[in-house]
Structure 1
Amino acid sequence: MRNYRNLMVSAVLTTAVFACSWPLAHAEQLRVPVGSQADRSQISLPANGTKSDAVRARWGAPVTIKGPVGQPPISQWHYQDFVVYFEGNRVVHSVVKPQKD
């Protein structure tokens, strides 16, 4: 019984030490006021999964390209009214730029 108790105390202490040393995750929260959000229904955007060649054929060359960075490689194609995010050569998200007043 004593060995079992010592084992349990040792396991609890090990878990506590490990949990306290684990780095805390931190993320920033981005808030965009509703009035400044763009209307996605007013613009044609590339669908998720579309290949980069098809995006270039449909919307032309982007104004700027950022990346790729990281693993998996993520790049951004910036057009006048929207930004397309690629993982490798496939679209993972398209974002409409807010309208400037």
Structure 2
Amino acid sequence: MFKHRTNLPLLAAIVIGAGLVVAQTAHAQQTLTQRVQEEKSMNLPARGLSMAQVEKQYGQPLHKLSPRGGDSAKHPTINRWEYSNFIVYFENSRVIHSVLNTPAGNNQNPGAVN
């Protein structure tokens, strides 16, 4: 007969570790879902607005970052403007996306960011 050694502490650590990973993943998914819902309820620049319309409605951005892309038809020019609460992405001169400007780690209440 073979003698089997059981290593219960190691097995317990693996089971607990797997449970923590699942819990963290579920929390991250819930946080992301909340953030997307909050962005939808905020007054962010809408897709299709021109740069002039965004400036007129929201004022001057804090930063206008240098354009990226534009080297071919498959890589249109992308501009990014940073405001205190959000970032606006433009393809050529039209809004393609607006997102909350939240510092890393503040995913609990992103709307509370200055």
TM bucket normalised to smaller: 0.5 to 0.7
The answer for the alignment partner of 1:27 in structure 2 is none
State the Cα deviation string for residues 19-58 of structure 1 (Å, max 9, x = none).
xxxxxxxxxxxxxx34474721452111111000000000
Structure 1, unmatched stretches of 5+, are: 1-32
The answer for the alignment partner of 2:95 in structure 1 is 91
| Higher fraction of helix | 2
The answer for the alignment partner of 2:59 in structure 1 is 60
Q: Distance in 2 between matches of 1:86 and 1:42?
A: 21
SS state of the match for residue 56, structure 1?
A: helix
Q: Which residue identity is paired with 2:60?
A: A
Structure 2 length-normalised TM = 0.53
Q: Which residue identity is paired with 1:82?
A: F
Name the count of aligned residue pairs: 70
Quote the offset at 1:78 in angstroms: 0.2
Q: Which residue identity is paired with 2:87?
A: V
The answer for the alignment partner of 1:40 in structure 2 is 39
Structure 2, unmatched stretches of 5+, are: 1-27, 71-75, 103-109
Q: Which residue identity is paired with 2:46?
A: A
Structure 1 length-normalised TM = 0.59
